[in-house]
Structure 1
Amino acid sequence: MAGEIVLIRFADLFAGTGGIRLGLEQACSELNIVTNCVFSSEIDKNACLSYELNFGENPFSDIRKIYDFPDFDFLLAGFPCQSFSYAGKRKGFGDTRGTLFFEVERILKQKKPTCFLLENVRGITTHDKGRTFKTIRKNLRDIGYKIDHLLLNSSNFDVPHNRVRIYIVGVLNGDIKMTLSSDLGAADTHKFKRNLSNYQQSLFGKEKPKFKVVKDVLEKKPDFKYICSPEFIDKLRKVVGDNFTKLNSYRLIDYRGGKSIHSWELGVKGDCSSEEIEFMNLLIANRRKKIFGSHQDGKSLTKHQILSFYHADNFDEVTTTLVEKGYLSCYEGKYNPVCGNMSFEVFKFLDPDGISITLTASDANRLGIVQDNIPRRITPRECARLQGYPDSYKLLDNDNAVYKQIGNSVSIPVVKAVLLDFIKNNYMK
């Protein structure tokens, strides 16, 4: 691979909206390398429309039914991750989607490209006690590839987004060298803000990278349709008053305590008294304690158990009204909160001075922000910016499709950084 490289022909598998392709093209442009996408494949029709809108080609196809491919130098594949993610059921190779890795393996065996980049969720490394990842590495090495992998957080790459992903790179019949190192970054916006000064030396040695925060990606004049409904805003006002910036970093969720706002505090199913709110908050805060069992989200508790932490003398009155309103259930003498988290217009208000939680396909449309003291949902363009898409990238006129696509996407600047490092050290020796 020594000598000047003027062209990289690549195949873009499980292409989505073209995020990995965009990262490669940006990296190669910076290195004065010409790229040519000779094959692309994606099965989601809306994602294909986005791809076509931006790259002039529609990649719609089922990779499992394709057997003839043009020659190419570089394979890109963000193969489906639901089978390995913490958000999914983690069936791995026991799930049909998980076996799509073997489609990548099949094509690598057939075409033997010089290099590849695979992207996936971090859960692939620990799935099935590490056996899944061990299988992937062995299979790639058996084909003849030397491989390396990095676990990287998008928030370390000028993207205000806590998103840890694995990037697997491979070189055929040769050694592999990377100067980037794995870095999981801050686990949440609070740690990000607290440790910001220490981050100035992470990943890049003496070079001090910029670190964007959420407010850096906000649109100045978002469409009014993203503003929360008057009814929802009125409910939020019951909790924070007229200063909606108090919502920053709050999660709207019924089965957790901490920095959370619950349906009974908002009055989603009917207004609650201060005593009823106190009861529900104490129940949420205590039901996970080990003395009551090891259930992840807590367990139903008896009156006797609840009275060990709820000391007011109105237990029967409060529980009766809460059951009537639908916030509490009682079955065989055991009480349990009735959670309705999907009913919230926004499930998390981002801190404008911090980083976003990890975007997902299912709930990117319900992330919120308070801007100019107005609670609203983040826009599709803001979601795209959280993933590092340039504003020149065209979005479909279909918000639901875009939220899903961006939630599934890669973070462009991370892909670019990995490929810059990889190409410099393995292509341009």
Structure 2
Amino acid sequence: MKEQLTVGSMFAGIGGICLAFRQNGCKIVWANEIDRYACKTYRLNFGDEYLIEGDIQKLDTKDIPKFDILTAGFPCQAFSSVGLLEGFNDPRGNLFFETARVINKIKPRVVFLENVANLVKHDEGRTFDVILKTLGDLGYYTVYKVMNAKEYGNIPQQRNRIYIVAFKYKKNVEKFKFPDMLPLTQTAFDLFDKKKQEEKYYMDGHRMWNRMMEYMDDRKRVYRFTDWGLSRGMEGICPTLLAAMGSRFERIPFFYDDFSVRLMTPRECARLQGFPESFILPKENEKQVYKQIGNSVCVPVVSRIAGNIVKALN
């Protein structure tokens, strides 16, 4: 009988990575998240048995239980090509070393990390070299791959992320491989609700309405505003969902439905991250919900990687 592997999650957010590992039979025994709004969503879906709400920098590692797998979607804003690219000079970038601190204490059998694809190129590759060297110095064998949600998760979202898997034992890394590509069998429009939504989601009368009508000449595409103006996604593919959706509604992608031009709803955004319909989204503070979804992961991609990690360990 296969053992049930245990998981500890750093920077857990709303639990996208936890959900993916749980889908593969793992048991979550510890999680940490600093954002109180994300913690609320996490508790709605996972309960309150093991989530530690607070700053990881203030946690004593002796209070963290042992587990087989450590997961960490450490903050990506410091490395993102749409951020300030401050890297380790940004306090959020330095949180990677908090991950290293926990690895050094717990010594899990495998470490799973997720971040923006630009992490590989940041500071001409020096940032990524530091990460790989740190994992090596801790005694881990590391493999990594940049994967796009639309190519590996059957999710119609343009979302490139790097996934890093570090095994404690060489025999395990030799048994592991990243998932193969999947054909995309659906469009973003297949995941949008067909009935009319609340008026707050419709963009009629927007200050850029005339410009939008000139630019939005293809109803099979999803649009959004960027710092450089109005942009369109590839046909049938949603642009990358960002945490900035929670700070400026114009960062929320929008499209033509049967009634007018409207913003994607939080539930539609969750579908485009691969969250099941059963995943509970808070009804209040919608801005925070948009932010949480943009900060999360594409669950089906992580679930496929998690499945292969479980196979390599078992």
Residue number in structure 2 paired with 1:179: 177
Query: Alpha-carbon deviation of 1:219?
Result: 1.4
Residues 237, 89 of structure 1: alpha-carbon distance in 2 compared, 3 angstrom cutoff? closer
Residue number in structure 2 paired with 1:362: 244
Q: Match for 2:163 among 144, 160, 167?
A: 167
Partner secondary structure for residue 256 of structure 2: strand
- More displaced 10-residue stretch of structure 1: 87-96 or 358-367: 358-367
TM-score normalized by structure 1? 0.65
Query: Alpha-carbon deviation of 1:252?
Result: 6.4
Preserved contact between residue 222 and residue 254 of structure 2 (Cα < 8 Å): no
How far apart, CA to CA, are the structure 2 residues paired with 1:238 and 1:102? Answer: 44
> 5 Å matches for 1:161-310?
161-175=157-171, 176-177=173-174, 178-180=176-178, 203-204=180-181, 209-232=183-206, 235-236=209-210, 239=213, 246=218, 248-249=220-221
Residue number in structure 1 paired with 2:272: 386
Query: Alpha-carbon deviation of 1:82?
Result: 0.9
Residue number in structure 2 paired with 1:110: 105
Preserved contact between residue 349 and residue 368 of structure 1 (Cα < 8 Å): no
Partner secondary structure for residue 164 of structure 2: strand
Residue number in structure 2 paired with 1:418: 305
How far apart, CA to CA, are the structure 1 residues paired with 2:116 and 2:165? Answer: 15
Q: Give structure 1 stretches of 5+ with no counterpart.
A: 29-34, 182-202, 257-340, 342-346
Query: Alpha-carbon deviation of 1:174?
Result: 2.2
Preserved contact between residue 144 and residue 172 of structure 1 (Cα < 8 Å): yes
Query: Alpha-carbon deviation of 1:349?
Result: 6.0
Partner secondary structure for residue 232 of structure 1: coil
1:7 partnered with 2:20? no
Residue number in structure 2 paired with 1:119: 114
Query: Alpha-carbon deviation of 1:354?
Result: 1.2
Partner secondary structure for residue 2 of structure 2: coil
Residues 172, 129 of structure 1: alpha-carbon distance in 2 compared, 3 angstrom cutoff? same
How far apart, CA to CA, are the structure 2 residues paired with 1:151 and 1:38? Answer: 28
Query: Alpha-carbon deviation of 1:229?
Result: 4.3
How far apart, CA to CA, are the structure 1 residues paired with 2:133 and 2:73? Answer: 19
How far apart, CA to CA, are the structure 1 residues paired with 2:309 and 2:138? Answer: 20
Pair member with larger Rg: 1
How far apart, CA to CA, are the structure 2 residues paired with 1:254 and 1:148? Answer: 33
Cα displacement string for residues 87-131 of structure 1 (whole angstroms, at most 9, x for unaligned residues): 111111111111100011011111111111010111111111111
- More displaced 10-residue stretch of structure 1: 358-367 or 44-53: 358-367
Partner secondary structure for residue 81 of structure 2: coil
Residue number in structure 1 paired with 2:41: 50
Q: Match for 2:93 among 92, 98, 104?
A: 98
How far apart, CA to CA, are the structure 1 residues paired with 2:191 and 2:94? Answer: 37
TM-score normalized by structure 2? 0.88
Preserved contact between residue 11 and residue 40 of structure 1 (Cα < 8 Å): yes
AA partner of residue 178 (structure 2) = L
Partner secondary structure for residue 376 of structure 1: strand
How far apart, CA to CA, are the structure 2 residues paired with 1:41 and 1:383? Answer: 24
How far apart, CA to CA, are the structure 1 residues paired with 2:226 and 2:147? Answer: 31
Query: Alpha-carbon deviation of 1:253?
Result: 5.7
Structure 1 residue ranges, 4+ long, deviating more than 6 angstroms after superposition: none
Q: Give structure 2 stretches of 5+ with no counterpart.
A: none
Preserved contact between residue 222 and residue 253 of structure 2 (Cα < 8 Å): no
Preserved contact between residue 350 and residue 367 of structure 1 (Cα < 8 Å): no
Residues 240, 173 of structure 1: alpha-carbon distance in 2 compared, 3 angstrom cutoff? closer
Query: Alpha-carbon deviation of 1:240?
Result: 5.0
How far apart, CA to CA, are the structure 2 residues paired with 1:248 and 1:86? Answer: 27
